[in-house]
Amino acid sequence: DQAASELERMLALKRSETPGAGGVEPWDTSYYNNKLRRTAYDLDEFSVSEYFPVERVVSGVMELYAGLFGVRFAPSEAAAWHPDARVFDCSDAADGRPLGRFYLDLHPRDGKYKHAAVFPLVRGRREADGSYRHPSAAMLCNFQAPAGGRPGLLRHAEVETFFHEFGHVLHNLLTESPYSRFAGTRVARDFVEAPSQIMENWAWDPAVLRRVSGHWKTGAPLPE
């Protein structure tokens, strides 16, 4: 019922521009959804994005997850496949034990995968000598790159995407399965998404948003 009501509002907006329009087509929805936000709620997602520079979101999310899981993230000197891709090592905050490595490749370029996703590169497993093979994973996104003196800025939906995909990164890195066949996201299909869907809800929590936001000019967090 709520969806039907909002669709009627979007149709009214469309008819204000195209009298006699019979319906809102799938290719119309993003345009009129954004227009509805502006006209009914005075909400401009691109103004909101000024509070989410990519680097602030990345550091804020890492800080949040480091505290939650008792781990540390540190830049690595390891090589990556492109200058835009950065490498981080993950270790246990209590004893410094290495846990894994991940790659962040966040900006678009020609020939790059176009969706947001995390790919396991090395699966964790218990080795014959009793040691644990450290897993690694790569997170690929296509967020706005810095340009013209401005940092790359994320729309709120993209902040939510970052929370979600970073959940997949940790799902891969914090595994303790003795067998690579069941390590990381190699779990029951429905549970592949469970940690990420839990974590992405924090992108709607005001206290968390204050921690991961900072206006690119003033540094001020997103207002309540």
Residue 25: active-site member: no
**Residues forming beta bridges with residue 122, ordered by sequence position:** 136
**Six-digit token pair at 103?**
């790659």
Residue count of the chain: 224
> How far is the C-alpha of 166 from the C-alpha of 104, rounded, in Å?
10
> How far is the C-alpha of 37 from the C-alpha of 50, rounded, in Å?
17
Candidate list 6, 17, 160, 165, residue with the active-site label: 165
For 79-110, b/e burial (b = at least 16 CB within 10 A) is: eeeeeebbbbbbbeeeeeeebbbbbbbbbeee
CA 105-185-199 angle, to 5 degrees, is: 70
> How far is the C-alpha of 169 from the C-alpha of 184, rounded, in Å?
9
Q: What DSSP designation does 75 have?
A: E
Pairing, β 132-133 against β 125-126: antiparallel
- Active site positions, annotated: 165
